Chains A and B, each alone.
Chain A
Amino acid sequence: MIAGMQNVVKRFGNVQALDHVSFAIHEGEILGLLGPNGAGKTTVIRTLAGLIKADSGEITLLGKKQDVNNIRLKQHLGLVTQEVTVFEELTAEENLRYFGGLYGVKGDKLRQRVKETLEFVGLSEHAKKVPGKFSGGMQRRLNIACALVHSPKFLIMDEPTVGIDPQSRSYILESVKRLTMEGTTLLYTSNYMEEVQAIASRIVIMDQGKVIASGTLDELVSRIQHEETIRITVSNPSVALAERFRAIQGVKTVMHNGADYTIVSGAGSDNLNRVLMVAQQRGSVSNIVADKPTLEDVFLTLTGKKLRDEEAGV
């Protein structure tokens, strides 16, 4: 385990920000942390990073107790903040020298790391420019670079792709995958479910300061999977075919619309082959799809909320 929380409680006045939160992050993995606004994700990040003190519980980082006073432990940690937190007056290169210097990287090693990190985020050609001249995506990449220049063992990324174009987002996600291949462990929070689904090896879902579910994507999906849905398009549709589908064991409902049929069965029915066989007996099949719940469905089922409610409402 590279980092973890055990029964961590944090209150801000009457607000219980963290309510006995426990989870572990293992070496080399990407842990996706999901939760609606106010779920406690930022408080988790800030306590893990030693920025705020937990009221009770234990936080460990690299096998040692993490605390606001344990400044040396921060040496191995990198934090990519949700906002772009770089200095406007300094060039990209100077920003990296600043943050590298804070972690005690000096001289030739600092020069080398600044060069490598700028290459890693694709900003080598813009090293002498100030962030004000950058696009949103480039600023985000510089924001990430500032957290990487000291080669942290454990990197926390707090919504690193907010408000950027798809091309920059994909560049960042590729960079994240490359980082884990190079041995960096990551805690990744995002409001984009598909990002977490694509890169995280395990997922922790939080709501109202509590961890409400954790596991791999398949584990989480199996927890909420109550039904299986099969969509099939046939060449010779008929009411009789719908009746044949209905007769298959475990089928709950069959909906028929032209050449398309939607067949809903109970969880674990595994009716895909049976449906296909029945349809082929009555003619050819032009399309068949078994719908699988997504992380979005898991999240919605567990929290009763969409992850980006506020955006949907705008």
Chain B
Amino acid sequence: MTIFLFAFIRSLRRKSTLVAMFVLPLAIVFIRTLWTLENGRGFLFYGMIIMFAAFSLVRSIMIDRMTGTVVRIFAAPVATFQYLFQNLLAFWLIIGVQTIVFVVIGSALYGWGIEMAVRLILSYNIFAVASLAFSLAWNSMFRSKVMSDAIFSIIISLMALLGGIFIPISMLPDFLRKIGMLFPTYWLSNSLLFIQDKEWNGQYWLSILIMFLFSAAFLLYGSKRRLE
């Protein structure tokens, strides 16, 4: 598990990751107005923080590719699957721990209750996997970090808009809502709405399932491309 261990260490030594992992969540969790069940913008903002954190974490795979370090890694007895799996597992664990800490603090401050907390942790963790997989697929398409970042900032704004982060999904025109369904942010938003309304029905599980399917598709695309 060398790759896993050092993916962990490398991630925690990068400033951008530390900001996304610790500063931003702490900055929003204490803003009380964001966390009323009627408003609930905080739940969605935190989703976007997860997306940024995932993108920042997966960046190390892109750096390995750009610097040629993957060539050396694959000259060792290491399979592509091993390299990706151990890296992504470390990244997921980092976000997973952060999510648990975040939800525990949120529950203590706003009394969310155990069932809601468990559902939030589930939604955020599935979304974290989808975000990591999306970032992997995204970074595999670019050879330039600058280009990847520039276009990603446009895409993430679009995803935030269509996923109901800035404007509630119910207020979006029908055709935009349909386009939004093509992004995992929409389904995170959807699942969070059911959590806020305390409706544990099939629609909630459908959102979870679709985020899972997004993860599988992005992982398949991102890992299929040769890493050199």
Contacts and interface: CB of A to CB of B under 8 A. Distances in A.
A74 B71 CA distance: 13
A243 to B, nearest CB: 63
Contacts of B6: 87, 90, 94, 97-98, 101
Contacts of A89: 9-10, 13-14
Interface of B: 2-3, 5-6, 9-10, 13-14, 67-69, 71-79, 228
27 contacts: A50-B75, A51-B74, A51-B75, A74-B75, A74-B76, A75-B77, A77-B75, A79-B72, A81-B71, A83-B68, A85-B69, A85-B71, A89-B13, A90-B9, A90-B13, A97-B6, A98-B2, A98-B6, A99-B72, A101-B6, A102-B3, A102-B76, A102-B77, A103-B76, A104-B77, A146-B72, A147-B72
Nearest to A156: B75
Nearest to B83: A102
A86 B72 CA distance: 9
A81 B72 contact: yes
A85 B10 CA distance: 15
A71 to B, nearest CB: 5
A87 B69 contact: yes
B171 to A, nearest CB: 43
Q: Is the interface of B mostly helix, strand, loop or mixed?
A: helix
A75 B9 CA distance: 25
Given A75-B77, A102-B73, 19 more contacts: A49-B75, A71-B78, A71-B79, A74-B75, A74-B76, A77-B75, A78-B75, A82-B68, A83-B67, A85-B67, A85-B69, A89-B10, A89-B13, A89-B14, A90-B6, A90-B9, A97-B2, A101-B2, A146-B72
B62 to A, nearest CB: 14
A94 B75 contact: no
Nearest to A69: B79
B76 A99 contact: yes
Nearest to B72: A85
Interface residues of A, number: 29
A298 B9 CA distance: 50
Residue from B5, B72, B74 whose CB has the most chain A CB atoms within 10 Å:
B72
Given A74-B77, A98-B2, A99-B76, A51 B14 contact: no
A90 B10 contact: yes
Interface string A142-157: 0000110000000000
Closest 9 pairs (CB-CB, A-B)? A101-B2, A79-B75, A102-B76, A85-B69, A89-B13, A74-B77, A89-B10, A85-B72, A83-B68
Contacts of A74: 75-77
A207 B72 CA distance: 25
A72 B78 CA distance: 9
A104 B78 CA distance: 10
Interface string A98-125: 1101111000000000000000000000
A102 B71 contact: no
Contacts of A51: 71, 74-75, 228
Given A85-B67, A85-B69, A72 B77 contact: yes
A81 B77 contact: no
